[in-house]
Chain A
């Protein structure tokens, strides 16, 4: 890009310059600043607890996702007979009725995306913890994809909500939400929180020869450039 210039070559980072960057508003402050004076969010050169929060939300999400697949999402009462449909069961039923594209959307949003998201977040966290030598730009793309796509899993909860409020035709047919709706919604929320807890700057540190020796848990070194605001 020619519309802005990098401060120096090789690329400088806020951490190497002894500064701390605000991830909310992109403003840069001297390294010892604790909250961003511009937007008020907490500052950390690298979020020390990022990975433990990622794993905590990840496990809670996984624990919620298992019952979400075992219990019915929908309970259909047709002429007095009640049957329950799990996520996969409902999609199979749709496909058998000929609505293959819709069945695929459901399977993609409710099974493939959540499972892929669990794997992707775990991979990103492990790759940072163990300094795996995989391509950083590719990992960054993966992280952005996870953040973008994750919300769409909520679609199945909305489908259940619409169906069970719409299909209420007295005794002929009625649809009620099943217990899996709650655990599924929770699993989506927890995986979103897990992905959002991840500090993507760790990906870029993990292969940086200047930064690998000191772990991401160390505070930023105090360099000469940022000391004008600190006491001598």
Chain B
């Protein structure tokens, strides 16, 4: 079913999961536009989304920067104590010649979350100041989205929980500052992903839509 010749392609949205084609109409903040066919969420705008995502990215950086070097867990058994940091946990694999795995674990729980936050800040900070985005902002945002599944801080926290139960009857374990910072990080990451509506941010990076720098001048997008 070809479209009429005068169709403006920038007004359309195709569902990334099933290819269904729609005329994009941005729903109210807090509402969601869902694909009729496969129920994939297409647009889910949130008010002041860019401010929130930027704030949460900064929080992630601060939490991770602090948590990395503070003691994480402390174990005590028959008079012996041993405390460990997050970096120690990842590097435990390098002690038995599994350098690749050590690097992989370190990436999944620290490098990838940090990289995602930095990329998001790079892409979105100029928009926050009502300026045109930096060159490369779109590549940065695409990369940050591609990194999303590889950011596994929340899984690490659950892993710590399981590990604690495993040693509970062997020794006394104390949760220390870095553990709580990491737990906070999980909540922040979940919030960040909830506020991040890809479509709205792409529109903003293109200079359209509600969050765009020029949105005040152009007004709200037309509903068709």
Q: How far, in angstroms, from A157 to B199 measured CA to CA in the complex?
A: 34
Given A26-B14, A169-B75, A225 and B206 contact (CB-CB distance below 8 Å): no
The reply to whether B88 and A165 form a contact with Cβ atoms under 8 Å apart is yes
Contact with A along B131-158 (1 / 0, CB 8 A): 0000000110110011001001001101
Chain A residues near B105 (CB-CB < 8 A): 157-158, 161, 185
Q: At the interface, yes or no: B111 with Cβ under 8 Å from chain A?
A: no
Q: Which of A83-142 contact B (CB under 8 A)?
A: 94, 97, 99, 102, 105-106, 136-137, 140
The reply to whether B31 and A172 form a contact with Cβ atoms under 8 Å apart is no
The reply to whether B14 and A200 form a contact with Cβ atoms under 8 Å apart is no
The reply to whether B155 and A152 form a contact with Cβ atoms under 8 Å apart is yes
The reply to whether B162 and A159 form a contact with Cβ atoms under 8 Å apart is yes
Q: How far, in angstroms, from A177 to B139 measured CA to CA in the complex?
A: 38
A224 closest partner in B (C-beta): B2
Given A155-B158, A176-B95, A3 and B31 contact (CB-CB distance below 8 Å): yes
> In the complex, what's the smallest C-beta–C-beta distance from A205 to chain B, in angstroms?
8
Per the CB 8 Å criterion, the residue count for chain B at the interface is 85
Given A25-B198, A105-B162, A38 and B206 contact (CB-CB distance below 8 Å): yes
Given A7-B23, A17-B3, A40-B139, A158 and B9 contact (CB-CB distance below 8 Å): no
Q: At the interface, yes or no: B62 with Cβ under 8 Å from chain A?
A: no
Chain B residues near A152 (CB-CB < 8 A): 155, 158
> In the complex, what's the smallest C-beta–C-beta distance from A2 to chain B, in angstroms?
9
The reply to whether B19 and A204 form a contact with Cβ atoms under 8 Å apart is yes
Q: How far, in angstroms, from A5 to B12 measured CA to CA in the complex?
A: 11
> In the complex, what's the smallest C-beta–C-beta distance from B62 to chain A, in angstroms?
23
Can you name 18 A-B residue pairings with CB atoms under 8 Å? Answer: A3-B25, A5-B25, A7-B22, A11-B36, A38-B138, A39-B139, A106-B162, A140-B39, A151-B152, A155-B162, A162-B159, A165-B92, A166-B73, A166-B89, A169-B171, A181-B93, A182-B100, A200-B38
Q: Chain B residues in contact with chain A, CB under 8 A?
A: 1-5, 7, 9-10, 12-25, 27-28, 31, 33-34, 36-40, 42-43, 73, 75, 77-78, 80, 82, 84, 88-93, 95-96, 98, 100-101, 104-105, 108-109, 138-139, 141-142, 145-146, 149, 152, 155-156, 158-160, 162-163, 165-171, 173, 198-199, 202, 205-206, 224
